[in-house]
Structure 1
Amino acid sequence: MWLARATVGCFLLLVAGHGAPAGARPSDAQARVEEFEVAGIPVLLRRIEANEVIAVKLFIRGGTANLTPRTAGIERFLFAASERGTEKYAKDLWYARLASTGTRVAGAAGYDFSTFSMETVLGSWDEAWDLYTQALLRPTLPPSEVELVRGQILNSVRQRRDDPDAYMRDLADSLFYQGHPYALNPEGTEAAIADISVDDLRAWHDRRLTKDNLLLVVVGNVGRGDLESRVEAALGDLPETGDAGRPVNRAPARSAAVAVVERRLPTNYVRGLFPAPSLGDEEDYAALTAAMEVLSNRLFEEVRTKRNLTYAVFSGLSARLSNYGLLYVTAVQPDSALSVMLAEVRKLRDEPLSEDVLAAAVSVFVTEYYQGLESNEAQASLLGRFELLGGSWKEAEDFV
């Protein structure tokens, strides 16, 4: 019988930070971001004329800090049910118009914020904005459709138990963030999803969709005047305040803990978490990002390539307000794999990195960073994340 392990510990990594090269100039992209308010709602607009795609992402502050065990998953539930009919469009018509205009609308619930997003093309901008704002502001939440959505979410929640990686993520979070808002999963639990009513969804919509909770980010070939008029008309009458997003403190320090779950699986899954700086801790976060890039490369070389102990091993860094770094491996012989991994962690802690090794790691990271920003939607996500978690959207440009 193999074991699925979730390990929560603390690792000390001492990494020298490196500043920007001498003579580095600010990115031209930063100058193209306009920051303004419309009817009390903060807006970021990056105008891109090189393609026809328009990405709209509305950030709703709060995340799990606004949840209780009874409401875990409610924003995910609300977003999904909002697509099942609006005051203007019946469900089938709404989906048909999405398809005919090449528009995608999606909601996502997260630990620090939730998002309600749209991607469309310039030629469909007028109709797509109407479809998007109808689902956002005027969902009818038909009880029969709500029940269908409930069943789909419940199935998804149950499947997390059957997926070793998903189950281990949940278990590790519950240990690492015990007593912290992040211990609640924004995707929901069976008990909470089963108990949330249509009235709960409507009340949540009214309390959370208020101007003080919102940040709108748009990336695409849209003029400021056009966007201002649309936002004013659609969102200008929203309440000024409501159930405001609550502040999130760092997770309390705790002793290392280990949870072992026995399952009949062909391999073992191990996930270790440790406290880490957040996006707002700019220099430390950048240094640890480079360290995790170096460590991940070394783990792959030593654990997989040289010893063939695994098909998946890596280190990484999350991007939450109360943040963590992680080590991960899946292995038939976990003790052997973990022994090699620990040796590499100690090596990174104790031995200074050469300039060549660090430069190579930074180069790979920067390349992947910009590759990940090729879509307008990805750029909107990055701007919003840094604005809410990193102090300012400007830090997204300075980070690399």
Structure 2
Amino acid sequence: MIRYALAALLALIHQSAAAQTEIEQVVTPAGITFWLSQEPSIPIVSMKILFRGGTALDPDDRPGAATMMTGLLNEGAGDMDALAYAAASEEVAARIGFDVGRDTLSVSATMLREVRAEVVDLVRIALHEPRFDDDAVERVRGQMMSIIRSNQSDPGELASHTLFAHAFPDHPYSRPTDGTPESIAAMSVADLRRIHRAAIARDRAFIAIVGDVTSDEASEMVDRVMVGLPTSDTALPQYAADQLRGGVHTIDLPGGQSRALFGHAGIERDDPDFMAAYVMNHILGGGGFTSRLTEEVREKRGLTYGISTFLTSLDHGPLYLGSVASANETIAEALELVRIEWARMAREGVSEEELEQAKRFLTGAYPLRFDTNAKIADILAGVQEAELGIDYTHERNAMIEAITVEDIARVAERLLQPEHLTFIVVGQPQGLDTVSDPAQQDALLR
């Protein structure tokens, strides 16, 4: 019965969650700081925790350790094996999830207010007492081996792995986040416990709670989950200036089209010019059908179904990236148009009309992100991790409205480096002046 009630209430949240979320910073009795947004109109509570570190904490000889460990957090904990844990979660209609990326390990939980204590206990034991039972470890090992095999023929994955290897040689970012066949085959329970100890650290946590809960009730939830977790004893990676200096690198993969991932150095999230860069990117390639690259590459010439660019704000080395797929015989033309538009934006900036259209879209779309408690909790935890300040969600649209064409011109000249654009092309492209990368290809395709 709880399951059906939760589904109905989640549907109602889409209509009731306010975009102008009121946020307060709370310190628990145990001294743990978190952000709280109270929404009492519907009895649902969402919790989000981000632990800074992520797969960048993988040991050199065990890439994939954090990913494998994270996949096991809901495969048995405390005195419950995997089936018992799943049954307990189902019984209270809890939506509990664990995920990991290059910079963070995330925990999310959405629950009915009346069962928050039971759900918080399920989160707590998953973080404090994962079992890593032999059968669960082997099941997840098999799943990861399957993913790795699939990645070996996935153009997007091949391009991403290769670009990060070129951008950050000898840095944790260069390692595949899903690991290698050798590292996953060799992964032991001791390896998993070591990365668990490194990746889930109380002093690297950013926490948000949103929903029908008081400050005292939310504090009790946070302390219940966090008290007893260790503090960090594994250093975060050093900042790494990217090594993308231009050129085209290819990986041969039979098929009728080629996929390209391209880019160069990006901009730090706390840089004063970041918001201007964000708006510029929307106009250049981030704005879907309204972007310059879509207009030139798709609409005018029909060379692709889609092309996009995006700012990647990695903690230890930001990138500015883009992607496009085109037929083998037309990919060279598509990439040349990318270079042309990159240089034109750096040289000319944007028009007042382009800027006003971008502002209308970006400010109008932002409130739509706040349509569920879970999404709001995601945003608030992310804002904390990026150290943007508790007023960011209220001030963000005003920051965008303040951007001028002069700001775009300045940041475009500073950020865009056509001569450093590096292209990783997976397929059998024709007409490209390429740098073959057989060693990288062999490593990825073995």
- The TM-score, its normalising length taken from structure 2, stands at 0.77
Given that 2:266 and 2:313 are in contact with CA atoms closer than 8 Å, whether structure 1 keeps it comes out as no
Matched residue of 1:277: which SS? coil
Given that 1:41 and 1:215 are in contact with CA atoms closer than 8 Å, whether structure 2 keeps it comes out as no
Amino acid at match of 2:239: N
Deviations 1:44-78 (A, max 9, x none): 22222344432212221222442233232222212
Identity score, percent: 23
The CA distance in 2 between the partners of 1:328 and 1:203, in whole Å, is 36
Q: Which range moved further: 123-132 or 388-397?
A: 388-397
1:122 corresponds to 2:110: no
Q: 2:58 aligns with which of 67, 79, 83?
A: 67
The CA distance in 2 between the partners of 1:213 and 1:264, in whole Å, is 44
The aligned counterpart of 1:362 is 359
Q: 2:158 aligns with which of 145, 155, 167?
A: 167
Change (3 A) 1:335 1:28: closer
The CA distance in 1 between the partners of 2:362 and 2:283, in whole Å, is 10
1:99 corresponds to 2:93: no
Change (3 A) 1:319 1:397: farther
The aligned counterpart of 1:330 is 325
The aligned counterpart of 1:388 is 385
Matched residue of 2:162: which SS? helix
Q: 1:298 aligns with which of 277, 292, 296?
A: 292
Q: 1:135 aligns with which of 116, 123, 126?
A: 126
1:289 corresponds to 2:278: yes
The CA distance in 1 between the partners of 2:123 and 2:68, in whole Å, is 17
Change (3 A) 1:207 1:327: closer
Query: How far 1:28 sits from its partner (Å)?
Result: 4.6
The CA distance in 2 between the partners of 1:184 and 1:391, in whole Å, is 28
Matched residue of 1:314: which SS? strand
Change (3 A) 1:263 1:247: closer
The CA distance in 1 between the partners of 2:161 and 2:255, in whole Å, is 18
The aligned counterpart of 1:311 is 305
The aligned counterpart of 1:21 is none
Number of equivalenced pairs: 371
The aligned counterpart of 1:277 is 267
Q: 1:374 aligns with which of 355, 371, 374?
A: 371
Change (3 A) 1:353 1:99: same
Structure with more contact order per residue of length (Cα contacts < 8 Å, sep ≥ 6): 1
The CA distance in 2 between the partners of 1:60 and 1:313, in whole Å, is 32
Deviations 1:189-245 (A, max 9, x none): 222222121122223323443322222222222211112223334432333x33245
Q: 2:339 aligns with which of 339, 342, 351?
A: 342
Question: What residue ranges of structure 2 are gaps of 5+ in the alignment?
Answer: 1-18, 286-290, 398-446
Change (3 A) 1:356 1:207: closer
Following TM superposition, the consecutive aligned residue runs of length 4 or more in structure 1 with deviations greater than 6 angstroms are: none
Please tell me the root mean square deviation across aligned C-alpha atoms, in Å. Answer: 2.2
The CA distance in 1 between the partners of 2:339 and 2:201, in whole Å, is 48
Question: What residue ranges of structure 1 are gaps of 5+ in the alignment?
Answer: 1-26
Given that 2:28 and 2:223 are in contact with CA atoms closer than 8 Å, whether structure 1 keeps it comes out as no
Change (3 A) 1:91 1:318: same
Change (3 A) 1:268 1:209: closer
Change (3 A) 1:175 1:47: same
Change (3 A) 1:247 1:392: farther
